[in-house]
Structure 1
Amino acid sequence: MIPPATAPDFLTRAGWGGARIDPLAGDASFRRYFRVHHDTLGDAVLMDAPPAHEDVRPFIAIAEHLEAANFRAPRILARDLDEGLLLLEDFGDDRVGPVLARDAARERAIYERAVDILVDLHRHPLPREIAPYSEEAKTHEVALFPDWYAKAAELGEIDDDGFFRAWQAAWPGLIARTEQAPVLVLRDYHADNLMILKDGELGLLDFQDALAGHPAYDLVSLLQDARRDVSPELEREMLDRYMDKAGIEDRESFEADYQLLGAQRNVKILGIFTRLWKRDGKPHYLSLQPRVWGLVERNFTHPVNRPIRDWFDTHVPAHKRADFWSDC
């Protein structure tokens, strides 16, 4: 976590010359974050997104869209697109996940606010020139399972064609309903990307991959969290809260879409976490795999996921699921 060599000059040009730069965090991508402290100006966050691997322009576009709609995304204080550097408003250190680990009594109130933000967000028009979260994109994501998980778990020769046919059999209703009324989908809306700000509001992070998609997707991301346990009871309560406040009339179809998107997202995450281990040298993600498998198994109980569940029952034995990762 050494700051990029270009950071001091960037900060000087931004009016933050002489500021101290301290490591803050990395994430599952190539982005890195540093806290910048200036004796006069206070604190800010430096995002380092190497242009060879990352493009900061989608982050800027979505941040500006969210701010214009009165959502709490970090204000962009300075930018250098050629170097992949952004200076951002500092939201502090109170991520929802660690806060709830210390004070579980706040869980319901925080999740209620997070759900209400989604209800509000989904009433706003989409940003201009935003790509759809298409069937092709979803299929590309679930391909991470045979490409990475299957190899790491030594599943042998599996039926890739049957894997994709199973998803294609489940997609049609979901895709049709998504195309009727797409909303802005932030795609990584969960406790570790939500910040509790000084005024008690929730700040939004990690939205650069946003697309136009189904309103249930970010709800799944929030309530079926790979990084912390959300009880089935709270999940049920918050799902009902969203449907009530959003005025969902066809609740049966919405819940089917929610469970299908849950299966898609969680199977994708199984592949992503395996890739982070094998390719990127980040083995700590392996400890999250049993929780993700628990979510997948819950998703599979819904009839909409029957063709996908049947494929998994045939090709992924029980000892290659959650229990497999305890020995890695």
Structure 2
Amino acid sequence: MQKNAKIYVAGHRGMVGSAIVRQLQGNGYTNIVTRTHDELDLVNQRSVTEFFAIEKPDYVFMAAAKVGGIHANNTYRADFIYENLLIEANVIGAAHKAGVDRMLFLGSSCIYPRDCPQPIREDYLLTGLLEQTNEPYAIAKIAGVKLCDSFNAQYGTQYVSAMPTNLYGPNDNYDLSKSHVLPALIRKAHEAKMRGDTQFVVWGSGTPMREFLYVDDMAEACVYLMEKGIAAGLFNIGTGTDVTIRELAEIVMDVVGFTGEIVFDRSKPDGTPRKLLNVDRINELGWKAKTSLREGISKAYADFRSQGISS
């Protein structure tokens, strides 16, 4: 990519989009286009089409999405599939009409079957049933991957898809009704510490295994794929290692400085038993994650404290 190329980052205020903007700026790109939700509603097809017709970006990073944790995904099932399908279809379709040949679409590792072999390879997509709690969101993201593949096949575009594992870091969502597991644990442990509690509650049994990637590492991988000129395909983005939810909670406790005990609420869902990505494909291109889990959680906790969400 040329340093003065016009690059549109959709969803630049979110955790993922803001990390991509930071990475692009750090790499010397000077012509980054962004729009807030108030300035451009990506669910509105006419507005999106007009935006692309006027701006005509050279590259697009598609990081905009309606996202949330198990509770949000399971509660707002219609919203998650409907809004994400509209956002993807509007952006990808309008980008093609405006002559945008290069795009990176960001999905989620939840696109893979619930019980597929571990670690999960890209070719396991659509080989089994999805996890029920986030099936609508997963179906929407699978549709985005297939939209990219189909535009490439029919029109010769170069739209590549990146599937990150569980992300965390600056600009994460710490709302307990909507957050993913790691930011939720950070907030719960911090608030338990500040109240002087002797325990804090963690959803589920603590036995599921999850992989976590610091968001700035993910952004580096996405920009790397575009700079390498990768024209198509699906790439897992992760660390290649995982921990149990219990181990994760213990690291969070240590970083936060909470000295009580963990209590597991087994009435709450565990979700997928294990979800570890095979990252051989992107590793073979020359990219590997750099930030250790403990280092990343320390940075995320500092970001949480800086937001003044709780005392």
TM-score range, shorter chain: under 0.3
- Find the structure with the greater CA-based Rg: 1
Is the helix fraction higher in 1 or 2? Answer: 1
Determine which structure has greater relative contact order: mean sequence separation of CA pairs < 8 Å that are 6+ residues apart, divided by chain length. 2
What TM-score, normalized to structure 1? 0.24
